[in-house]
Amino acid sequence: MKLRTKDLKFYYGTFEALHGITIDIPANKITAFIGPSGCGKSTFLRTMNRMNEAMRNTRVEGEIQLDNENLLSMDVTDVRRRVGMVFQKSNPFPKSIYDNVSYGLRVNGIKKKSVIDTAVERSLGRAALWSEVKDKLHKPALALSGGQQQRLCIARALAVEPEVLLLDEPCSALDPIATLKIEELLFSIKDITTIVIVTHNMQQAARIADSTGFFLLGNLIEFNDTKTIFSNPSSKETEDYVTGRFG
């Protein structure tokens, strides 16, 4: 097990947004979280790299463990290097493509140009972007198309070689072909990292996820093999959601 949480609660001020989530995320697999808007899946995702701490007046209770180490007591920048994140809307920096991908490395103290060059090429290759940008690494990242920008963000996250990659609805702003490229990409990097993806798109979860968790109103209702969740769910709420009775 790569990441596990035990009775994790999360509060925005006095509002309890997550009611005691207990889950084991398997290593080197794709785990998907599905559920209706506002169910807490994104909030839960963001507790796993402690991004919620950037907001005022929030509180976490319970345990999170990364490889049996207590995530909540680790140095937060160390956590974020080991647990990377790709956001819903791509957010490349207004810098060159090269500077974007190398940012994580330089911020974590790596200065040698040869090391950075290799890492940039490797990450862009894994993100299926290298052939498209190898001749314009020093052009601005914002000149890329939406799908390319999101793949750039994935390359940027992969450059620091995270043990877990969290993706928060990474394809929701992209067209089907760009979405497909990213799904193929995720398949291909399973061996080097553990992937957790939040998605609104049930078909996407069914396509790529090994395990799926269904969230509703701050609770984890069911967590199982994707096949089981979609064909033979144990709880009625799950069944109602995946068959489209509500969404």
Partner 1 sequence: MMTEISRKRRITNAVMLTISGVCTILVIGVLFFILGYLLWHGARSLNMNFFTKLPKPSGETGGGMANAIVGSAKVLLIATFIGVPIGFLAGVYLAEYSGKTFAFAVRYTVDLLNGVPSIVMGIVAYALVVQPMKHFSALAGGVALGIMMIPIAVRTTEEFLRAVPNSMREGAMALGATKAKTIFTVVIPAAISGLLSGMMLNLARVAGETAPLLFTALGNMFWSRGWLEPIATLPVMIYNYALAPEEDLHQQAWAAGFVLLALVFVINVTARMIIMRGPASARR
CB of 12 to partner 1, least distance (A): 17
Stretch that binds partner 1, among 20-28, 111-119, 137-145, 234-242 (CB under 8 A): 137-145
Distances (CA, A) of 52 to 55, 90, 98, 185, 212: 6, 19, 28, 27, 23
User: Any contact of residue 41 with partner 1 (CB under 8 A)?
Assistant: no
Give residues 205-224 in contact with partner 1 (rule: CB under 8 A): none
User: Any contact of residue 89 with partner 1 (CB under 8 A)?
Assistant: yes
User: Any contact of residue 153 with partner 1 (CB under 8 A)?
Assistant: yes
Stretch that binds partner 1, among 9-17, 72-80, 223-231, 233-241 (CB under 8 A): 72-80
Of the chain, the end-to-end C-alpha distance in Å amounts to 30
User: Any contact of residue 49 with partner 1 (CB under 8 A)?
Assistant: yes
User: Any contact of residue 138 with partner 1 (CB under 8 A)?
Assistant: no
User: Any contact of residue 156 with partner 1 (CB under 8 A)?
Assistant: yes
The secondary structure of 54-101 as a DSSP string is GSTTEEEEEEEEETTEEGGGS-HHHHHHHEEEE-SS----SSBHHHHH
Give the amino acid at 84. G
CB-count burial class (<10 Å; 0-12, 13-18, 19+) for 119: buried
In the complex, which residues of this chain contact partner 1 (CB under 8 A)? 49, 51, 54, 77-78, 80-81, 84-85, 87, 89, 91-95, 103-104, 107-108, 140, 142-143, 153, 156-157, 160
